[in-house]
Amino acid sequence: GDSVTQMEGPVTLSEEAFLTINCTYTATGYPSLFWYVQYPGEGLQLLLKATKADDKGSNKGFEATYRKETTSFHLEKGSVQVSDSAVYFCALSPPSSGTYKYIFGTGTRLKVLA
């Protein structure tokens, strides 16, 4: 079945460091790919998405490129801030029209130190 694998955390970085959180997926066809962020005590917020191969999603300095050949969607940010501390979830939505039934990775906790 479809699945998402994320790198295990926690990831601890100093402010202004470069961030990469790896995400690979297994799916039939061409799923849509997402990154969600969850701040402490809050629900999920959509961070960025990509719906087809080679698409690059970007938001708030975060980027991820849909790589069909490597079935990956790694999250990157050039310079993290303390406010980026959160749990990041990679997710996919199988190619079904009109619905968003998500399959999530286990989440990667990021802690950014001042």
User: Is 89 among the residues that bind other proteins (CB under 8 A)?
Assistant: yes
Which range, of 11-19, 36-44, 59-67, 71-79, touches other proteins by CB under 8 A?
36-44
Min dist CB 62 to other proteins, Å, is: 16
User: Is 88 among the residues that bind other proteins (CB under 8 A)?
Assistant: no
User: Is 49 among the residues that bind other proteins (CB under 8 A)?
Assistant: yes
CA 57, chain centre distance (Å): 10
- Cα–Cα nearest to 36, from 59, 3, 7, 9: 59
Pick the closer one to other proteins by CB: 7 or 17.
7
Min dist CB 36 to other proteins, Å, is: 8
Query: What is the DSSP annotation of 7-65?
Result: --S-EEEETT--EEE-EEEE-SS--EEEEEEE-TT--EEEEEEE-STT-EEEETTEEEE
Which amino acid is residue 58, in one-letter code?
S
- Cα–Cα nearest to 105, from 36, 47, 11: 36
User: Is 100 among the residues that bind other proteins (CB under 8 A)?
Assistant: yes
Q: Which residues of the shown chain bind other proteins in the complex (CB under 8 A)? A: 34, 36, 42-46, 49, 89, 93, 98-107, 109
